[in-house]
Structure 1
Amino acid sequence: MQFSTWRWNRILAFFGGVGLLFFAPWTGLSPALPEWTIDVLLSVPFGLCIYGFTEQPRKVIVQVPVGTVLGIGILALYRASGVLLF
């Protein structure tokens, strides 16, 4: 198998996502930011890992972290307004 036939963009996306997931706890941002912003920021490396594993096109994979961000944002707005869903 030749190196030129490898899908380097997917390989680098996977290792970049895993690296960011392990790097995030050591950044020291957790005490300074609200909890929901950390969850939003961690959806990006999660999307990179999914892109590295699957054969889906980028447009489909982008929907996963964007949907996660929107869902967390809506829950944060509900909690900020005093409505506790769970």
Structure 2
Amino acid sequence: MSMVLRLWDANTGQLTFDSELAVGGVCLGFYTPPTGGGSITFPDIVGATGFALSAGGRGTLYTTDNDLGYLRFNFNELTAGSSYALFAK
């Protein structure tokens, strides 16, 4: 049996992510940004791009970079207290 992850926007009902359509991405797990905003880093992942999805499928206020030489997700203070699935590609 294969598992499928689909996320819909809670306000519009629009499909925002379908794992059957995703190509080449790896789920890093579910994370909760620090209170007041902050970064979640992956020192072992070099040169990847990242994206995040909230558990409710809503848009997420974040940026990603490799400025430290590895993948970093930067969340603002409005994201605190919510869980996000983080992906790297």
**TM-score calculated relative to the size of structure 1:** 0.28
Larger Rg over CA atoms = 1
The structure, 1 or 2, with the larger RCO (C-alpha pairs under 8 Å, 6+ apart) is: 2
Structure in which a larger fraction of residues adopt helix? 1
TM-score normalised by length of structure 2: 0.27
Instruction: Select the structure that is richer in strand.
Output: 2
